[in-house]
């Protein structure tokens, strides 16, 4: 089957892409660019980098802008998926959803309305195993957003590695946060992964943070040889 991947540029959608490509044909990426930083549905930190990631993957990218109003953003999602169906003849949509019932139900409903299959290869995956799978596949992932206590500015821009995962698992026990960010505690940006033909090099960036909320904003980046 031909699939389009809902792609945020973060670790989960990139892992979902990898797992789908092992068995099926991925023909395009779909990114929803929300003007609302507190979107109920969509990842926002560094969403602009998806264009560079698409080039690194050698896949066409459909980008759809949304104001990010609750529920109304689903109309923009539907329009983007419909475009992918018409332009690339996809039979299904892939998501990186792991725990969010809110997100999964709405995407499934949209796919059903368009007569498409919705595939969630990471659904209900153990979060520790998910993080370990990302590291074992040599992903290069950075923390691009933090939105929960006791996370602070020091986490922003850090690369996901064994030490960082251990710290996240400790915070899960102490504070109940989701180690993979399924409660919205963290967002990530992928700079390299197995399907990337080139890696992303950050040239300029800035940290914007206040208390336990902040983003690592990439302002300039380029593709380099791996």
Residue 198 pairs in a beta bridge with: none
Per-residue tens of pLDDT for the chain, all 226 residues: 999 999 999 999 999 999 999 999 999 999 999 876 666 566 678 999 999 999 999 999 999 988 767 777 889 999 999 999 999 999 999 999 998 888 889 899 999 999 999 999 999 999 999 999 999 999 999 999 999 999 999 999 999 999 999 999 999 999 999 999 988 899 999 999 999 999 999 999 999 999 999 999 999 999 999 9
Q: How many structural domains is the chain composed of?
A: 2
Residue 184 belongs to domain spanning? 129-224
pTM reported for the whole predicted model: 0.94
- CA dist 89 and 99 (Å) reads 29
Q: Of 9, 225, 35, 13, nearest to 119 (Cα)? A: 13
Same domain, 134 and 216: yes
Q: Of 159, 179, 154, 158, nearest to 169 (Cα)? A: 179
The last residue of a domain, from among 93, 119, 145: 119
Q: What is the CATH number of the domain that holds 58?
A: 3.40.50.620
Same domain, 73 and 142: no
Same domain, 55 and 153: no
Would you tell me how many other CB atoms lie within 10 Å of the CB of residue 192?
19
Structure tokens at 20: 């789908």
Same domain, 103 and 135: no
Same domain, 109 and 133: no
Domain presence at residue 47:
yes
Answer whether 9's CB lies under 8 Å from 54's CB.
no
């Amino acid at each position: 089957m031909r699939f389009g991947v809902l792609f945020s540029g973060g670790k989960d959608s990139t892992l979902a892409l990898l797992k789908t490509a092992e068995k099926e044909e991925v023909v395009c990426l779909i990114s929803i660019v929300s003007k609302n930083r507190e979107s109920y549905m969509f990842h926002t930190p560094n969403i602009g980098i998806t264009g560079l990631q698409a080039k690194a993957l050698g896949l066409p990218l459909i980008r759809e802008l949304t104001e990010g109003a609750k529920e109304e953003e689903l109309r923009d999602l539907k329009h983007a998926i419909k475009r992918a169906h018409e332009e690339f003849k996809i039979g299904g949509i892939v998501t990186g959803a792991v725990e969010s019932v809110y997100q999964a139900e709405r995407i499934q409903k949209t796919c059903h309305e368009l007569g498409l299959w919705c595939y969630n290869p990471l659904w209900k995956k153990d979060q520790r195993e998910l993080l370990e799978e990302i590291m074992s596949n040599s992903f290069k992932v950075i923390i691009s957003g933090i939105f929960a206590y006791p996370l602070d500015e020091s986490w922003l821009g850090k690369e996901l590695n064994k030490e960082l995962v251990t710290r996240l698992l400790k915070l899960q026990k102490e504070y109940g946060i989701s180690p993979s960010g399924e409660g919205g505690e963290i967002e990530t940006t992928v700079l390299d992964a197995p399907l990337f033909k080139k890696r992303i090099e950050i040239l300029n960036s800035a940290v914007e943070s206040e208390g336990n909320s902040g983003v690592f904003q990439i302002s300039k980046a380029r593709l380099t040889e791996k």
